[in-house]
Chains A and B, each alone.
Chain A
Amino acid sequence: MSLKAFHIVFVGISMLLCLGFGVWAIFEYRSAGDAAALICGIGSFVGCVALLIYGRWFLRKLKGVSYL
């Protein structure tokens, strides 16, 4: 597996982390009322979308590089 393929796996797992952390942060805000948790939660969801856009850009940029 090339760095290109491993990076796509990494971006995918990072997106899952962003989603999970976002949900956790919203729950934290609802239970503890911590405004920083709400901001980080929303930031995490935005980060997930940003990673998705980045991943597509990365695949376009390295179109000619092998996955092996």
Chain B
Amino acid sequence: MSASVLPYTVKPHPVTGVYSGKLGTWLFLASEVMLFGAFFSTYVLLRVGAPTEGAAVWPTHEQTHLSWKIGGFNTLVLIISSVTMVLAWAQLKMNNFSKARLYLIVTFVLAGLFLVVKLTMEYYPKFEAGIRPSTNIFFAAYFVLTGLHALHIVGGMVVIGYFIGPGASLWKKDPEYFTNRIECTGLYWHFVDLVWIFLFPVLYLL
């Protein structure tokens, strides 16, 4: 099967004005907005509707054992990773593959750092203390929202890792196509980081 089977991977489609990969990525992100939007709405409705007294009262910050310092650090890590991701794309636009690959590696490492902090400093101590999603409604929402987000981080790492490793050969064959693929990866990565920017204040600060 030749590469020409996939039309408009580099040049914009005459109807949509963008190349097909970008349109597909935005359609995928639209479905992601609905997925996370549903969970966000659930969390907000549960919190607003929680009774003010009794056993089902919403837990305080002390009871949730969430550290804003750890959450803030992870927020900083993800913001920097978005910057390095977009810089990788910018370097490809300037035909500088080696620098772009370096930025992709930094993005990959930062994503790994986020997961390590999440697992070792947030999830593990909670499981050690016997806290599970079944503990109360807050932790059910917390583990679902942050767990789903962490899975998206893993997904992003797989894609970025592919373009650092075996997928990098596409640069030699078709640099423009490779640059567009990195742009699509960057769009996804920005979305995942944006979700965390909303999650952090909702879960850790408010």
Q: Is the CB of A14 within 8 A of B197?
A: yes
Q: Is the CB of A3 within 8 A of B197?
A: no
Q: Is the CB of B75 within 8 A of A58?
A: no
> B-contacting residues of A (Cβ < 8 Å)?
1-4, 6-7, 10, 13-14, 17, 20-21, 24, 28, 36, 40, 47, 54, 58, 61-62, 65, 68
Q: Is the CB of B183 within 8 A of A21?
A: no
Which residue on chain B has the smallest CB distance to residue A1?
Answer: B26
CA distance A65 to B69 in the complex (A): 37
Q: Is the CB of B190 within 8 A of A6?
A: yes
A17: contacting residue among B89, B186, B187, B200, CB under 8 A: B200
Nearest-CB distance from A25 to chain B (Å)?
8
B66-87: CB near A (< 8 Å → 1, else 0) gives 0011001001100100110010
> A-contacting residues of B (Cβ < 8 Å)?
17-18, 22, 26, 68-69, 72, 75-76, 79, 82-83, 86, 89-90, 93, 183, 186-187, 190, 193-194, 197, 200-201, 205
CA distance A23 to B183 in the complex (A): 34
Give chain B residues whose Cβ lies under 8 Å from the Cβ of A7: 82, 86, 186, 190
Q: Is the CB of A65 within 8 A of B86?
A: no
**Given that A3-B89, A3-B190, A13-B194 are known contacts, is A40 also in contact with B69, CB under 8 Å in the complex?**
yes
Which residue on chain A has the smallest CB distance to residue B191?
Answer: A6
